Structure 1
Amino acid sequence: MTLIAIVMGTLAAGIGSVWLAALLGFGVLARYTQHMLSLAAGALLATAFMHLLPEAFESQASADDLFMTLLVGLVFFFLLDKAELWHHGHEHHHQHEALPAHDNHPDHAHAHTHQAGTWAVLTGDSVHCFGDGVLIASAFVADLRLGVIASLAVLAHEVPHHMGDLMVLRASTSNKRAALLKVTLAGAVTTLGGLVGYWLVDQLQDFLPYFLVVASSSFMYVALADLIPQLQKRLSAPETASQIAWLLAGIALVTTVSSLAHAH
Structure 2
Amino acid sequence: MELIQVLIALFLGSIGSVALAGVMFFLSDEKLNKVSTYLMYLAGGTLLGAALLGMIPKALTLESPEIIFPSILGGILFFFVLEKIILWRSCRNKNCERHMNAAAPIILIGDAFHNAIDGVVIAASFLTSTEMGVFVTLSVILHEIPQELGDFGILIKSGFSRSKAFWFNVLSGASAMVFGVIAFFTLDKIQSLIPHALAFSAASFLYISLADLIPEMHRKTKLNDSLRQVILVSIGISVIYLIINTK
Q: Give the TM-score of the pair, scaled to structure 2.
A: 0.74
Distance 1:180 1:232, change over 3 A: farther
Distance 1:160 1:74, change over 3 A: closer
Distance 1:182 1:229, change over 3 A: same
Distance 1:177 1:133, change over 3 A: farther
Counterpart selection for 1:186 from 167, 176, 179: 176
Please give the secondary structure, in 2, of the residue aligned with 1:233: coil
Paired position in structure 2 for 1:122: 115
Please show how residues 1-264 of structure 1 align to structure 2 within 5 Å.
5-18=1-14, 21=17, 27=23, 30=32, 31-59=34-62, 61-84=63-86, 94-96=95-97, 118=111, 121-122=114-115, 124-132=117-125, 134-135=127-128, 150=130, 154-155=133-134, 157-174=136-153, 175-197=165-187, 200=189, 204-260=190-246, 263=247
What RMSD in Å do the two structures reach over aligned CA positions? Answer: 3.6
How many residue pairs were aligned? 224
8 A contact 1:124–1:214 mirrored in 2 = no
Alpha-carbon offset, residue 213 of structure 1: 0.3
Paired position in structure 1 for 2:160: none
- Equivalents in 2 of 1:117, 1:252: separation in Å? 30
8 A contact 1:41–1:228 mirrored in 2 = yes
Please give the secondary structure, in 2, of the residue aligned with 1:173: helix
Alpha-carbon offset, residue 230 of structure 1: 0.9
Asked which structure has the greater CA Rg, the reply is: 1
- Equivalents in 1 of 2:99, 2:5: separation in Å? 49
Alpha-carbon offset, residue 7 of structure 1: 3.3
**Runs of at least 5 residues in structure 1 that lack an aligned partner in the other structure:** 100-110, 137-149
Distance 1:253 1:188, change over 3 A: farther
Amino acid at match of 1:250: G
Alpha-carbon offset, residue 256 of structure 1: 1.6
- Equivalents in 1 of 2:73, 2:228: separation in Å? 32
- Equivalents in 1 of 2:91, 2:232: separation in Å? 36
Alpha-carbon offset, residue 50 of structure 1: 1.0
8 A contact 2:41–2:229 mirrored in 1 = yes
Encode CA deviations 1:117-167: one digit per residue, 9 max, x unaligned.
Answer: 85774354133134135447xxxxxxxxxxxxx2x7624541233220232
Amino acid at match of 2:85: A
- Equivalents in 2 of 1:115, 1:238: separation in Å? 35
**Runs of at least 5 residues in structure 2 that lack an aligned partner in the other structure:** 25-30, 154-164
Amino acid at match of 1:14: L
Amino acid at match of 1:47: A
Amino acid at match of 1:33: S
- Equivalents in 1 of 2:17, 2:136: separation in Å? 11
Point out the more displaced range, 233-242 or 25-34: 25-34
Distance 1:166 1:72, change over 3 A: same
Please give the secondary structure, in 2, of the residue aligned with 1:235: coil
- Equivalents in 2 of 1:116, 1:206: separation in Å? 30
Paired position in structure 2 for 1:143: none
- Equivalents in 2 of 1:238, 1:20: separation in Å? 31
8 A contact 2:53–2:241 mirrored in 1 = yes
Distance 1:218 1:226, change over 3 A: same
